[in-house]
Structure 1
């Protein structure tokens, strides 16, 4: 963060120099720290909430040979996969929301400078709304990705091996945006899946509400989820993937 350094001279019997710092970029440093922690919070909590349930609902049922009994029920396969996907995503949302509440309470009551950042321009409300929006979008996306990996696997351990390396890629946008100012964000940034969720959260945390950005993120994530759902539906209709080696 750039600083403007200047020297203040006081004349008494001797000359003394006092060095002061002044923030010249117009952004609150505490708010900047919060905007760095918030996306990382979303990444870890949502993945941690979705991963165990996703592995168990598809690969786990194939491993325990309970998928056949589920398919014998008078429920359409598309309804089964939608129900499982929404259940996985909901667990991720709950995990993210609980972490959000804990994070806000900790900042407000156990810190001094970070707590002031959320009070500026009613940032507490902006902070909560922005993270809730990011939690919902990211949970739906992660839930669908993990469902596909679980469908491809025959055991829970195999599903974990498939998902772990790919999910590490979700941390890349966080580091790419760490040194990016909100003034540098363009419409293209809000069209790149995963990257756009973090960009939107960072923009909202600084009090910038742009309906175009929100619409682009929602549209982009929606298209990706629709494509992934089509792939998952095809896999779920094939005995090779739905029943595994059994």
Structure 2
């Protein structure tokens, strides 16, 4: 058997026996996505129910005419003596929105809607009141046109219809598309980070690295074996998020139907594309982690370096959550940006819009980085000064 494979088997076996690796790299992603999806399903379900049910909205109003109109519409109304009192109730959060009469044309009831722009439920309430008042205006207008025998086209010369010309949606819901690429990418790094400090720096402290270095196995084979083992853990950790999502979808907690209305998004093709773009990134991450562990003189020093490096991974990964809201969502140069390109291709795979050119650019960029970092790692392992404890 190839010496590198012997080292790989040894290191991987030790990693899988380590409770920290099992809890952080494998169970951590599953637990995190399960908790996040549970929280989001509860929040989204509550907001959706409030948006559909106007009677759940607390409203304040000034004057009997407005109070009667709102009560007739089914709102829970708290009457206020004046606009200042109504505004105070909205600001305090006692009610979500207010309606007060203002001076204007005596022939109509002029209304001012009070809301708090910092509160999402208040914004929802403002929209509900606006729709209700517009509906009342529409009913009155139709009655007038019918009474005067005036065609609708007289006051509505433009009739608007809508047609979706996009391809049928094949992918997952917006929440999954935004969250899953981020989790897959960061766990490809954090999964290996849990054990990386022990791979070289930890062995320096325990004085076990010298024993390994004087063995018949060459140093290049040793570092390649460690890279393969750590890369395997990183890859499995990144895909643990998919396992957590699958478990959540199977259990179907209360309110989760809102999240999966657009589908799960993890099709066989999406899984294949994800694996293709993640593999070279894992090679880069594993090389980076071992390099930092090799440079460090102790486990604590290695953990400091790894913590600083994690910010380099997290920042572009975080931006990937908002990439779909920008004009750069389909830009080709995004695929050349480390981490961001991988997350972008995972997002496109989840919505069923994978592009071969984008995937190739992403893989090429990650492979170049992985090759450079692997070369650095191998050269460091050949330097006695770096491998020493002093």
TM bracket, shorter-chain basis: 0.7 to 0.9
2:189 is aligned with 1:189? no
Which residue pairs with 1:58 in the alignment? 200
2:219 is aligned with 1:74? no
How far did residue 96 of structure 1 move?
Answer: 2.0
Change (3 A) 1:151 1:222: same
Deviations 1:16-39 (A, max 9, x none): xxxxxx998969796221111112
2:376 is aligned with 1:231? yes
Q: Give the Cα–Cα distance (whole angstroms) in 2 for the partners of residues 114 and 126 of structure 1.
A: 21
Which residue pairs with 1:165 in the alignment? 308
How far did residue 43 of structure 1 move?
Answer: 3.6
Aligned counterpart for 1:102 among listed residues 215, 239, 244: 244
How far did residue 94 of structure 1 move?
Answer: 1.7
* 8 Å Cα contact 1:130-1:205 kept in structure 2: no
Q: Which runs of 5+ in 1 are unaligned?
A: 16-21
Deviations 1:49-108 (A, max 9, x none): 201221111111111111111011111111111110111111111222223112123135
Change (3 A) 1:116 1:127: farther
In the alignment of these two chains, the number of paired residues is: 232
Please give the secondary structure, in 2, of the residue aligned with 1:45: helix
How far did residue 45 of structure 1 move?
Answer: 2.5
TM-score of the superposed pair, with normalisation by structure 2:
0.53
Q: Give the Cα–Cα distance (whole angstroms) in 1 for the partners of residues 305 and 344 of structure 2.
A: 27
* 8 Å Cα contact 1:58-1:147 kept in structure 2: yes
Which residue pairs with 2:73 in the alignment? none
Change (3 A) 1:156 1:183: closer
Q: Give the Cα–Cα distance (whole angstroms) in 2 for the partners of residues 158 and 117 of structure 1.
A: 46
Q: Which has the higher contact order (CA 8 A, sep 6+)?
A: 1
* 8 Å Cα contact 2:186-2:317 kept in structure 1: no
- Report the more deviating stretch, 103-112 or 146-155: 103-112
* 8 Å Cα contact 1:97-1:135 kept in structure 2: no
* 8 Å Cα contact 1:62-1:155 kept in structure 2: yes
Aligned counterpart for 1:147 among listed residues 280, 287, 290: 290
2:349 is aligned with 1:215? no
2:327 is aligned with 1:175? no
Q: Give the Cα–Cα distance (whole angstroms) in 2 for the partners of residues 152 and 193 of structure 1.
A: 23
Question: Moved runs in structure 1, 4+ residues, more than 4 A?
Answer: 5-12, 22-30
Deviations 1:97-150 (A, max 9, x none): 22311212313542213323235xx75334433443444333222111111100
Which residue pairs with 2:122 in the alignment? none
Q: Give the Cα–Cα distance (whole angstroms) in 1 for the partners of residues 212 and 266 of structure 2.
A: 47
* 8 Å Cα contact 2:186-2:314 kept in structure 1: no
* 8 Å Cα contact 1:108-1:115 kept in structure 2: no
Q: Which runs of 5+ in 2 are unaligned?
A: 1-129, 144-161
Change (3 A) 1:190 1:43: closer
Please give the secondary structure, in 2, of the residue aligned with 1:180: helix
Change (3 A) 1:131 1:116: farther
Change (3 A) 1:115 1:132: farther
Structure with greater Cα Rg: 2
Change (3 A) 1:23 1:153: farther
Change (3 A) 1:129 1:112: farther
* 8 Å Cα contact 2:187-2:238 kept in structure 1: yes
How far did residue 242 of structure 1 move?
Answer: 1.7
